[in-house]
A and B are shown apart, each in its own frame.
Chain A
Amino acid sequence: MDVNHDLEKASQEERPQSEEGPAIEVEGLNLYYGANQALKDISLKIPHRQVTAFIGPSGCGKSTFLRCFNRMNDLLDIVRMDGIIRLDGMNVFDEACDVIELRRRVGMVFQKSNPFPMSIYENVVYGLRIAGVRDKAILDEAVERSLKGAALWTEVKERLKDSALGLSGGQMQRLCIARAIAVNPDVILMDEPCSALDPIATAKVEELILELKNQYTVVIVTHNMQQAGRVADLTAFMYLGELIEYDRTEVIFTRPSQRHTEDYVTGRFG
């Protein structure tokens, strides 16, 4: 199986010239929490404007892996890493890499929605204000564009000055997605974005993910295999810190090549 070849072929057919090559390329990534190795020699390529899902049992390293893409693991002193992660060809571990800019380009949405205790409007423009944008017209435009992009505009356009904490769980999660896309990222990372949502809110976020991939590269960690099946173009199965199998989602869920993957997706694990 040469999935990387397939990915390159598929994405070359659709993407503009500026998006030649993978969005994210990982080579020989190892990560240690103190003496424990959490990620073992991982290599893979994530194509532009596709949804890639990481699945695997708890503790397999999928969230840790996701957090490497925008160097969120730097915040933990005990973490040590080696290997390469290239974002559009740039090694994110290079000294020259500006971590603030990296985190603008690689946005993140977490398991539990985390709106700031301020208005809906201020939540969306938070990243832009930090970046020094003051022009109200630009901020207004960004709020409308981002909330429309997060499929939330029609629900909140009449109450942008209301507290974000008054929204429902599903609306809060979509607000966090709006906040992530307001700063115009290239990649959106999602760590179990629907695990705290009811089925209707989950369906809305899943529809949104499918919309988002027209403009962004989306990488999602999920425990819900049906969700991976519904939204992801590619799925990576991880186990005990290793990347066991990475292929098109329909292959992973109909004819996986590895016994471990088969056992996991069919629920025979453990």
Chain B
Amino acid sequence: MEQHYHREIKDIYRKVGKLGGLVEIGVGKALRCLKDGDPQLGDEVRDGDRNIDLLEVDIEEDCLKVLALYQPVARDLRAIVTLLKVTTILERMGDLAENIVNKASLVPTSYLSESRMDIPRMGELALKMVHTSLTSLLKGDGQLAREVLSLEKEMDELHKYHHKVVAEDIEGQNIRFSRAELGLLSISRYLERIGDQSVHVAEDVIYLDEAKIIRHNKEI
């Protein structure tokens, strides 16, 4: 027997799905902006972020309404708490996509392939982590969410390697592309953060599905 507030929770899921879609598109456009040097894409990411901010507030109000009016428990409570937290995380991801396009202007398109940094691979990983974490959320699938956790290590190692690349260039006084190099290092950091935020979404999905808080103990 479905009650009125179950329909309200479904509506919130729909809005979070839409928010996730905007974030995924934003990250994708930010990476294309970097690759193609198209400033139009940068503007679209910034416009998209404004929509993300508005939708975040709208979803938060819906979640607070369900908490205040219906006092959900068990899976419904876990769903509302998860949606509330994930919404904040997605908004941060939108900000990170905007950060990427802001730094993209420092990086000539040709430099992306010349640099020893593997930003395209990080971009692929980030998109996969965002997409998988969102799919796991909408399906309420903790098993799928665990796949996101397994991608985190490669992302972290790439970012550490990029630090090493910059350190070596500074030590070798290879300053020809220093602005582009520093721009890429910042982008590497933003992509690594997008990966981290996807992991946080995945951890919340595991809580939703399995009622386990694994944030500080991934062995659970």
Contacts and interface: CB of A to CB of B under 8 A. Distances in A.
A229 B77 CA distance: 13
Those 3 A-B pairs whose CB atoms lie nearest each other, nearest first:
A255-B211, A253-B73, A270-B1
A254 B211 contact: yes
B74 interface: yes
6 contacts: A254-B73, A254-B77, A256-B74, A262-B74, A268-B3, A269-B1
Interface of A: 225-226, 229, 253-256, 261-262, 265-270
A262 B71 CA distance: 14
Contacts of B1: 267-270
B73 A225 contact: yes
Given A267-B3, A268-B2, A254 B74 contact: yes
B76 A254 contact: no
B74 A255 contact: yes
Nearest to A268: B1
Contacts of A256: 74
A226 B74 contact: no
A120 to B, nearest CB: 36
Contact of A253 (B3, B6, B74): B74
Residue of A253, A267, A268 most packed against chain B (CB within 10 A): A267
Interface of B: 1-3, 5-6, 71-78, 211
Contacts of A225: 73
Residue of A229, A253, A266, A270 most packed against chain B (CB within 10 A): A266
A265 B73 CA distance: 7
Given A254-B211, A268-B6, A270-B1, A226 B71 contact: yes
Residue of B74, B76, B211 most packed against chain A (CB within 10 A): B74
B207 to A, nearest CB: 9
A266 B211 contact: no
A265 B74 CA distance: 7
A253 B78 CA distance: 10
Contacts of B72: 266
Nearest to B211: A255
Nearest to A225: B73
Contacts of B71: 226
Residue of B5, B73, B78 most packed against chain A (CB within 10 A): B73
B3 to A, nearest CB: 5
A267 B72 CA distance: 9
Residue of A255, A256, A261 most packed against chain B (CB within 10 A): A255
Nearest to A269: B1
Contact of B75 (A226, A262, A270): A262
Given A254-B78, A255-B74, A265-B74, 8 more contacts: A225-B73, A254-B211, A262-B74, A265-B73, A266-B73, A266-B76, A268-B3, A268-B6
Nearest to B1: A270
B2 A229 contact: no
Residue of A229, A254, A261 most packed against chain B (CB within 10 A): A254
Nearest to B2: A268
A266 B75 CA distance: 8
A168 B74 CA distance: 36
A222 to B, nearest CB: 14
A253 B1 CA distance: 19
B108 to A, nearest CB: 53
